[in-house]
Amino acid sequence: VILSGSENRYVLTDLSPSTEYEVLLTAVFTDESESDTVSVIATTLARKAVRNLSLTDETTQSLDASWELEDPNVDSYRISYVSLSGNHNKEAVSVGGGQKRAVLQPLQPDTQYKVTVTPVYRDGQDGTSVSAVGSTFPLLIAENLRVSEESYNRFRVSWDPPQAPTVGYRIVYQPVYARGSVLETTVGEDVNSILLLNLLSGTEYNVQVTASYPAGQSEPMLINAKTLFLGVSGLSAYQVRPNSMCVQWQPLLQATAYRVSIQSTLNDQRQEVNLGGAASRQCFYDLTPSSQYQISIYTQTREMEGPSVSITEMTLPAPTQAPTEPPTTEAPPTLPPAKEVCKEAKADLVFLVDGSWSIGDDNFMKITHFLYSTMGSLDQIGSDGTQVAVAQFSDDARTEFQLSSHGNKEALLEAIQKIQYKGGNTKTGRAIKHVKESIYTPAAGARRGVPNVLVVLTDGRSQDDVNKVSKEMQMEGYIVFAIGFADADYGELVSIASKPSDRHVFFVDDLD
């Protein structure tokens, strides 16, 4: 390099780093003569290396590489990465010299990577590289899978999200033992529970929850969950006759209706009725003697109908009579026989039945059985014999049927079997007044010159006054019997009933 005579400084460029150089200097005069040469030996500095390379913000498919280097001569950085297991070939990306960060993706989940950062200088030469090892997250599963809010056709499935960010979840469910197709739904990454609807009642389901990632799906988490059974319990037959039978059951609190059917197992003979949600029994008539029947009950709510609960029962054989025996006018075999002492009975008979909550379904059913057998003891029902009415009371009284409603024993007994349990508080005084004003009237079938007999059945103390109306009934010639059980107040029974008390008041511990 030739410089002017006035210069005494020069910067040597484009040298190699970390290299020893000898610099020679010679003066050139105007006559073109040269001075002796002087020299100096110097070494260029080494280039700076990348520092503090770190791999952070791991996901299932990416790593975030960051580093430090202050060197204005760096033109760019080359970041190369390769899996240590060899299942991901070496790849590289470049960023500008002013950047100190790069996101490496897409990577394999649950994989160790060696990441190398190399500065590239403006002269095209590589600087000193530095490496670090980092790992991507595995495809983590959802944790703590659990079930709640079980109902007849639904339940909720919840889980804890994994540590790695997901893009959503896939839920697959199907019945374990029953027939049913495989159902599937998906939710977003910010959802960690789902209410599964329109399921089968009383059915166990296998539920799988899979976390979804950009790189794939995790292994599924498994749990079994079961819906509640929408059906009655305690289904049994009673009063089985050659041409009829009755069934009873424990009603379900949430039921709004029941569909009850009876079908012969030998032919297509079938009957079906729809009952209210408070029903607990039903009788079927016009059946074939010595035949097996299947009785099925389907419990219904506002949303759905449950599966059937069924029993089978056989009707009794038809009664046989000797050929020489003349026809009789006795009651058909489906009815209880009349008792001799009751054949001549003639009265307007009213049963006032306690239907409060304290009675319960079981005891109320026993009361109706008592009414059934008692009425079966009477010989003639109707205007020429004994007329029968039934009222049920709790907070208020409800006439189940009037004195003139049924003119024969079969119709009366069928009506007794259809009485539905009411429920409520115990207002006996109001109920007795209802009988006096609404049942013992000519319009309701009350007759003149016929004894008026009232039978009150209750299990507890009245929540209103019974003395006044009871005295009025007794003064006006009504014959009042009081039957108490369980927690009935004996003194109150005495106040209700006619005198003498030992003939008109009865008390039992229970209804068995």
What 3 state SS string does 386-412 have? EEEEEEEECCCEEEEECCCCCCCHHHH
- Residue 310, pLDDT score: 95
Residue 503 clears pLDDT 50, i.e. is over it = yes
The answer to whether the beta carbons of residues 123 and 115 sit under 8 Å apart is no
Residues in the chain: 512
The answer to whether residue 442 scores a pLDDT higher than 60 is: yes
Query: Three-state DSSP class for 493?
Result: helix
Q: Are 275 and 282 in contact (CB under 8 A)?
A: yes
Per the CB < 8 A criterion, the answer to whether 260 and 295 are in contact is yes
> Residue 426: its pLDDT value, please?
87
Kindly state which CATH superfamily the domain 143-226 is placed in: Immunoglobulins (2.60.40.10)
Average pLDDT on 77-89 reads 88
Pick the CATH number of 51-135 from 3.40.50.10490, 3.40.1440.10, 3.30.2130.10, 2.60.40.10: 2.60.40.10
- Asked if CATH classification 3.40.50.410 holds for the domain at 340-508, the reply, yes or no, is yes
Q: How many other C-beta atoms are found inside a 10 Å radius of the C-beta of residue 111?
A: 20
Given a contact cutoff of 8 angstroms between Cβ atoms, the answer to whether 104 and 135 are in contact is no
Q: What pLDDT score does 388 carry?
A: 93
Supply the pLDDT for residue 509.
Answer: 75
Residue in 256, 338, 331 with CA at minimum distance from that of residue 298: 256
Say if residue 141's pLDDT is above 80.
Answer: yes
> CA nearest 435: which of 416, 418, 455?
455
Contact (CB, 8 A) for 84 and 115 = no
Q: Is 60 exceeded by the pLDDT of residue 1?
A: yes
The pLDDT of residue 343 is: 55
Q: Does the pLDDT value for residue 333 go beyond 80?
A: no
In angstroms, the CA 381 to CA 390 distance is 14
Condensed to tens digits (0 to 9), the pLDDT of residues 386-398 reads 999 999 998 899 9
> Which candidate, 138, 134, 140, 137, places its Cα nearest to that of 83?
134
Residues contacting residue 177 through CB under 8 Å, at least 6 positions apart? 203, 204
pLDDT of 424 strictly over 70: yes
Assess whether pLDDT exceeds 60 at residue 428: yes
Closest to 130 in 3D by CA, of 86, 66, 184, 218: 66
- The span from the CA of 437 to the CA of 452, in Å, is 13
Nearest to 112 by CA among 88, 79, 92: 88
> For 320-324, what is the mean pLDDT?
55
Same fold: 51-135 with 233-314: yes
Sign of CA dihedral 88, 83, 75, 95: positive
Tell me the per-residue pLDDT of 192-235, one tens digit each, with 9 for 90 and over: 999 999 998 889 999 999 999 988 889 899 999 999 999 999 99
Question: CATH code for 233-314?
Answer: 2.60.40.10
What pairing do the DSSP bridges indicate for beta strands 143-148 and 204-213?
unpaired
Place of tokens 């006054």: 465
User: pLDDT band at residue 421, thresholds of 50, 70 and 90?
Assistant: confident
Instruction: Report, as an integer, the average pLDDT of 34-51.
Output: 86
Q: Which residues contact 170 (CB under 8 A, 6 or more apart)?
A: 184, 185, 186, 209, 210, 212, 217
| pLDDT at res. 327 | 46
CA dist., res. 489 & res. 504, Å (int): 15
The highest-confidence range among 48-57, 82-91, 376-385, by mean pLDDT, is: 48-57
Three-class SS of residue 351? Answer: strand
Mean pLDDT of the chain: 87
Q: Return the closest-CA partner of residue 26 out of 39, 12, 43.
A: 39
Instruction: For 98-108, write each residue's pLDDT tens digit.
Output: 899 999 988 88
Q: Say yes or no to pLDDT of 329 above 60.
A: no
Q: Is the pLDDT of residue 167 over 50?
A: yes
User: 3-state DSSP call for residue 92?
Assistant: strand
Checking if the pLDDT of 84 tops 80, the result is yes
Give dist(CA 344, CA 386) in Å, integer. Answer: 9
Whether the predicted pLDDT of 341 surpasses 60: no
| DSSP assignment string, 215-230 | TEEPPPEEEEEEPPP-
Least confident of 59-63, 178-182, 260-264: 178-182
CB 212 within 8 A of CB 197: no
Amino acid at residue number 214:
P
pLDDT at 320: 67
Averaged over 454-472, what is the pLDDT?
90
Domain ranges across the chain:
51-135, 143-226, 233-314, 340-508
Helix residue ranges per DSSP H, 7-132: none
| Local structure of 58: helix, strand or coil | coil
Structure-token pair, residue 20: 């020893």
Residue 481 has pLDDT above 90, yes or no: yes
**pLDDT at residue 393, as a whole number:** 92
What angle is formed at CA 112 by the lines to CA 110 and CA 115, rounded to 5 degrees?
A: 135
Tokens 């799988």 found at: 208
Cα(first)–Cα(last) distance of the chain, in Å? 129
Asked if 139 and 215 count as a contact pair (C-beta separation under 8 A), the reply is yes
Which of the two residues, 125 and 261, has the higher pLDDT score? 261
Residues 343-368 pLDDT 10s? 566 899 999 999 888 888 888 888 98
Sign of CA dihedral 250, 252, 256, 259: negative
For the chain, percent of residues with pLDDT exceeding 70: 95
Distance (Å) of CA 75 to CA 49, 411, 451, 489: 14, 106, 120, 104
Both tokens of 100, joined, read 């100190």
The pLDDT value recorded for residue 193 is 95
Max intra-chain CA distance, the chain: 174
Q: What is the pLDDT of residue 58?
A: 86
Residue 344's pLDDT is: 60
Instruction: Dig out the tokens for 158 from the structure.
Output: 């919840």
**Confidence at residue 205, expressed as pLDDT on a 0 to 100 scale:** 95
